[in-house]
Amino acid sequence: MVLETNTNEQALKKLHEGETDVIFIIGESIEHNDFITCNLCNETFGWIFPAHFPSNTDPLLLLQDTQFIFTEQSCGYRPMVDRFLRQSGRNPNKTFETSNVEVIKQSVMCELGISILPYIVVQESYQKEQLCFQPIETPAVIQSHVIYHKSRWISPVLQSFLTLLERIE
């Protein structure tokens, strides 16, 4: 078994081309005629900012002077973040973008900016009080998905794994 990280777009391409058997993604619901999509759970999104910020901080006000750290454009939940910011009427003045959520978390902890990420990504850092997390209402339901081919043979090991995942749902 090989575990690798890719953008949702890259992962779907590898699945479509048969380079991989199963993918996990976080994003809006994806339906495709060639794939079976199992929705694992809804994801909670929220602002993340340095640990010393007061819990009643209004992140939208921070966007005037604080750098906002985006995930890359091809990230599955980036469109949701873009829509959220657009609908709030507050576009960040200073931004940078990275493909690595760990870079985003570390940058926030080092006070280089703020961001919006899924709770599952920051849960451990939040519980260790290394950063603050403030949930937001997202304009769309964002879920974790496992996706695999409808027509490809599924090994007994993969079938056991998929069965285990169904129990988690």
If asked whether residues 82 and 129 sit together in one domain, one would say: yes
In-domain check, residue 60: yes
- CA 92/CA 103 separation, integer angstroms: 19
For the chain, report the end-to-end CA distance as a whole number of angstroms. 23
If asked whether residues 25 and 85 sit together in one domain, one would say: no
Instruction: Name the token pair of 153.
Output: 């043979």
Note whether 88 and 39 are within 8 A (CB): no
If asked whether residues 129 and 62 sit together in one domain, one would say: yes
pTM of the model: 0.81
Domain count of the chain? 2
In-domain check, residue 1: no
CATH code of the domain containing 148: 3.40.190.10
If asked whether residues 113 and 53 sit together in one domain, one would say: yes
pLDDT (tens place) for every residue of the chain, 169 residues total? 666 777 788 888 998 898 888 888 887 777 788 898 888 888 899 999 999 988 788 888 888 889 999 998 888 888 889 989 999 888 899 999 998 999 999 999 999 999 999 999 999 999 999 999 999 987 677 888 889 988 888 889 888 988 888 776 5
Q: Tell me how crowded residue 53 is: count the other CB atoms within 10 A of its CB.
A: 18
In-domain check, residue 74: yes
What integer pLDDT is reported at residue 134 of this predicted model?
94
What integer pLDDT is reported at residue 78 of this predicted model?
87
What integer pLDDT is reported at residue 73 of this predicted model?
87
In-domain check, residue 2: no
If asked whether residues 35 and 49 sit together in one domain, one would say: no
If asked whether residues 153 and 116 sit together in one domain, one would say: no
If asked whether residues 120 and 51 sit together in one domain, one would say: yes
If asked whether residues 52 and 126 sit together in one domain, one would say: yes
CA neighbor of 50 nearest in space, from 119, 117, 106:
106
In-domain check, residue 55: yes
Sheet holding 143-149, edge to edge: 22-27, 143-149, 35-42
Residue 34: domain span: 8-42+142-168
In-domain check, residue 3: no
If asked whether residues 123 and 55 sit together in one domain, one would say: yes
DSSP 146: E
If asked whether residues 50 and 125 sit together in one domain, one would say: yes
Element of type H or E holding 95: strand 95-98
Helical H segments across the chain, by residue range? 8-16, 59-62, 78-88, 101-109, 119-127, 156-168
Provide the 3-class DSSP secondary structure of residue 40: strand
